[in-house]
């Protein structure tokens, strides 16, 4: 009698220097018995045979027009398998920093998917936040020893230099979490900087630059950030200081201390995020069982 052939699960996410993208793949945190699991960069999706695969898209801010051609190719190539979206979210330039997009075109990205959970709260699809909340590193964070730490997205460096600084492409996950945990309050322009900071039970002040900052179930305090493309001198200084050019600068950060003082910790967030992911994992297993 021939041996049972293991079915393949392919988890597409972004595998780039952004530590949040690297750690958002749900297959890092959940088991899928009797299945071969492969993680792949969404941008390199054409190199894999998807015909009979179980495809998991997520997590991360993959609902962006930049990724739509890759998502459409995956949808076409997954002919006899299953399509699952897990912890994905929208990204749109916000215009005014407070603007929310209640009519985001989720169907344009997720049409044809068999199971969907999005990290954006208050929309038609079930809320399933980034699966990185399942990492045990959040179970017992150490006590902070700085009043503030500053964690910047690599394309949106914050000009607050009097406190410890780190970018989201400069350290591995453990080092990043240790850095975030060292602050009583986290000042950040990174989505995962604010998400992980809140999972650690810290107060967070976020400097938003697109719609993903406005869709969390447990919202952080937001600074009314205005981002601009830097002039030539600013680009040169940024390259010398950070060894990488920055596409944007924040025009005014004068009021950050006042808003940071108004932020609050949300200790209930960790278990809420984990409970949602555990429940979604069960739904994924049930779908996989029906497919075998």
pLDDT digits (tens, 9 = 90+) for 209-268: 999 999 999 999 999 999 988 766 655 555 555 545 568 889 889 999 999 999 999 999
**pLDDT value of residue 44:** 80
Q: Which helix (H) or strand (E) holds 235?
A: helix 232-242
From the candidate CATH numbers 3.40.1350, 3.40.50, 3.30.230, 2.40.30, the one assigned to the domain spanning 7-133+271-291: 3.40.50
What residue spans define the domains of the chain? Answer: 7-133+271-291, 137-266
**pLDDT value of residue 29:** 98
What does the pLDDT look like over 186-207, one tens digit per residue? 999 999 999 999 999 999 999 9
Cα–Cα distance between 233 and 243 in angstroms, integer? Answer: 14
Q: Which helix (H) or strand (E) holds 196?
A: helix 191-199
Q: Which residue has the tokens 């601009």?
A: 228
Annotate 62-90 with b (16+ C-beta within 10 A) or e (fewer).
bbbeebeebbeebbebbeebbbbbbbbbb
């Amino acid at each position: 009698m021939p041996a049972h052939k293991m079915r393949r699960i392919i988890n597409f996410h972004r595998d780039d220097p952004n530590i949040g993208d690297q750690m958002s793949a749900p297959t890092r945190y959940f088991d899928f018995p009797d299945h071969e699991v492969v993680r792949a960069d969404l941008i390199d999706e054409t190199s894999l045979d998807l015909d009979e695969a179980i495809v998991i898209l997520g997590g991360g801010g993959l609902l962006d027009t930049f990724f739509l051609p890759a998502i459409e190719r995956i949808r076409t190539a997954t002919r006899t398998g299953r399509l699952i979206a897990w912890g994905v979210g929208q990204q749109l330039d916000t215009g005014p920093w407070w603007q929310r997009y209640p009519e985001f075109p989720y169907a344009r990205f997720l049409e044809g998917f068999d199971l969907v959970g999005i990290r954006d709260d208050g929309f038609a699809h079930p809320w399933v936040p980034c699966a990185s909340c399942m990492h045990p590193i959040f179970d017992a964070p150490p006590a902070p020893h700085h009043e503030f730490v500053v964690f910047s997205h690599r394309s949106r460096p914050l000009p607050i230099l009097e406190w410890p600084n780190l970018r989201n492409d400069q350290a591995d996950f453990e080092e990043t979490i240790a850095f975030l945990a060292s602050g009583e309050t986290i000042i950040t322009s990174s989505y995962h900087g604010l998400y992980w900071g809140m999972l650690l039970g810290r107060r967070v002040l976020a400097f938003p630059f697109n719609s993903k900052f406005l869709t969390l179930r447990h919202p952080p305090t937001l600074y009314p950030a205005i981002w601009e493309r830097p002039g030539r001198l600013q680009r040169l200084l940024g390259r010398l200081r950070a060894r990488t050019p920055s596409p944007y600068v924040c025009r005014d950060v004068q009021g950050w201390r006042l808003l940071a003082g108004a932020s609050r910790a949300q200790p209930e967030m960790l278990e809420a995020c984990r409970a949602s992911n555990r429940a979604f994992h069960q739904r994924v297993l049930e779908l996989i069982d029906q497919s075998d």
